[in-house]
A = this chain, B = another copy of it.
Amino acid sequence: MDKKIGAPAPEWQVQQWFNVEQPPSLAALRGKVVVLEAFQMLCPGCVMHGLPQAQRVYQAFPRSQVAVIGLHTVFEHHAAMTPVSLEAFLYEYRLSFPVGVDLPDGRDGIPQTMRAYGMQGTPTLVLIDAFGNVRNQHLGQISDLLLGAQIMELILESGAPSQ
């Protein structure tokens, strides 16, 4: 568990967006539950589990209540996972939710949003409530059953009717 649970989610620092017309900001998503999936395109656990799960969430919940955002948090093999590679990856894996490239630190280290959230690796799933607070931050696998329950809890808290 992370010490930031309950605290306001840091605004993300993004170099480039895919699958969007307008760059989404955390501030503009206030009122919606946000599922933030931090990943690296060459991380097998992200490809096999985290990203398919994020895509399922994107398809299962109404866009008016839940926003799914991918964040490409490259902290290793920087030259291997450039935005041009990421773009082909998103296309080939048919990932259709918005994905931002986390802003590099300029020294091939941990990128800036990843650092601000205190993430320890990938995949990391962050649940942000409709008021902009981090409510869960999970490294590794989380079950669909518990994730669905947590998302619904945050939806109902927000005062939105459940569907």
Contact = CB atoms under 8 A, between A and B. Distances in A.
A80 B88 CA distance: 6
Contact of A153 (B57, B85, B152): B152
A152 B57 CA distance: 16
Nearest to A87: B80
Contact of A144 (B42, B88, B148): B148
A139 interface: no
A85 B146 CA distance: 33
A36 interface: no
Nearest to A93: B44
Contacts of A60: 143, 145-146, 149
A49 interface: no
**What class of interface size applies to chain A in its complex with B?**
20 to 34
Contacts of A152: 148-150, 152-153, 156
Interface of A is mostly: helix
A21 interface: no
Nearest to A156: B156
Contacts of A42: 85, 88-89, 92-93
A125 interface: no
A130 interface: no
A29 interface: no
Contact of A148 (B79, B80, B146): B146
Interface of A: 42-44, 47, 56-57, 60-61, 77, 79-81, 84-85, 87-89, 91-93, 143-153, 155-156, 162
Give me the 3 closest cross-chain CB pairs, A-B, nearest first. A148-B148, A80-B88, A144-B144
